């Protein structure tokens, strides 16, 4: 289902068309498309080019692996993510590899890589839903994450679902699939002179 954003100013069509559905088609995602998605993450910017992100990927063509990844999500996310053909768990390295000092930008850099994933996936006709609702300790235990790294979030990827896929969602999620997309206006977060003071350029 397409839900282009009603933007205040022109933006790239990939940004207008990116949103986070919960209704996914059962259609599998070809490996070559996932390779392109991860290649996009590979070329994200990062502090000192550390690239502190790692991804654990599981697809529904391997039910055991998909089930393991699914079990690491909170119950509310499991209810819909079980239909997503691709599940990804994200991990970040805590320190800089070159000197062992804490990398305070690690989560920011992971976000940049995830943003590239979203845009590349959208360009390929795929949809992405990022999740904070993850049992991080279960991820650490299940996948033997070393202490040098920390589990962070999860991502579902797949082709967009239609009316049938929306109908199979739990009722509390169905309205969000068709509701208009909304965002704060620019004057609520673009400031100048002092924090909270609206920048003139946003009107």
Residue 194 has pLDDT above 80, yes or no: yes
pTM of the model: 0.95
Residue 69: what pLDDT?
Answer: 98
Q: Which domains does the chain have, with CATH numbers?
A: 13-161 (3.40.109.10)
Percent of the chain with pLDDT over 70: 100
Residue 2: what pLDDT?
Answer: 85
DSSP 28-90: PPPHHHHHHHHHHHHT---GGG---EEEEEEETTSHHHHHHHHHTB-HHHHHHHTT-SEEEEE
- Residues near 140 by Cβ (< 8 Å), separated by ≥ 6? 150, 151
Convert the pLDDT of each residue in 129-142 to its tens digit: 999 999 999 999 99
Residue 203: what pLDDT?
Answer: 76
Token pair of 38, please? 């991860």
Residue 147: what pLDDT?
Answer: 97
Query: Cα 165 vs. chain centroid, distance in angstroms?
Result: 20
Average pLDDT value over all residues in the chain: 96
Residue 149 has pLDDT above 80, yes or no: yes
Query: Cα 94 vs. chain centroid, distance in angstroms?
Result: 20
Phi/psi-derived region of residue 53, left when phi > 0, alpha when psi is between -120 and 50, beta in every other case: beta
Residues paired with residue 54 on neighbouring β-strands, in sequence order? 91
50-73 average pLDDT score: 98
Phi/psi-derived region of residue 200, left when phi > 0, alpha when psi is between -120 and 50, beta in every other case: alpha
79-83 average pLDDT score: 97
Residue 57: what pLDDT?
Answer: 98
Convert the pLDDT of each residue in 82-138 to its tens digit: 999 999 999 999 999 999 999 999 999 999 999 999 999 999 999 999 999 999 999
Residue 25 has pLDDT above 90, yes or no: yes
């Amino acid at each position: 289902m397409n839900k282009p954003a009603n933007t205040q100013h022109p933006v790239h069509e990939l940004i207008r068309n990116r949103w986070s559905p919960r209704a996914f088609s059962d259609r599998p995602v070809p490996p070559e498309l996932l390779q392109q998605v991860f290649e996009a993450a590979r070329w994200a910017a990062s502090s000192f080019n550390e690239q502190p992100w790692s991804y654990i990927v599981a697809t529904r063509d391997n039910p055991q692996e998909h089930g393991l990844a699914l079990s690491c999500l909170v119950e509310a996310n499991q209810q819909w993510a079980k239909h997503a053909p691709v599940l990804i768990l994200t991990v970040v390295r805590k320190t800089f590899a070159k000197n062992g000092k804490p990398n305070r930008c690690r989560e920011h850099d992971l976000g940049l890589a995830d943003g590239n994933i979203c845009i590349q996936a959208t360009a390929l006709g795929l949809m992405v839903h990022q999740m904070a609702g993850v049992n991080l300790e279960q991820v650490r235990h299940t996948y033997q994450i070393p202490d040098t790294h920390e589990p962070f979030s999860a991502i579902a990827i797949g082709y967009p679902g239609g009316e049938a896929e929306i109908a199979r969602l739990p009722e509390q999620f169905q309205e969000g699939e068709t509701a208009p997309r909304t965002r704060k206006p620019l004057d609520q977060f673009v400031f100048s002179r002092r924090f909270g003071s609206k920048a003139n350029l946003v009107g």
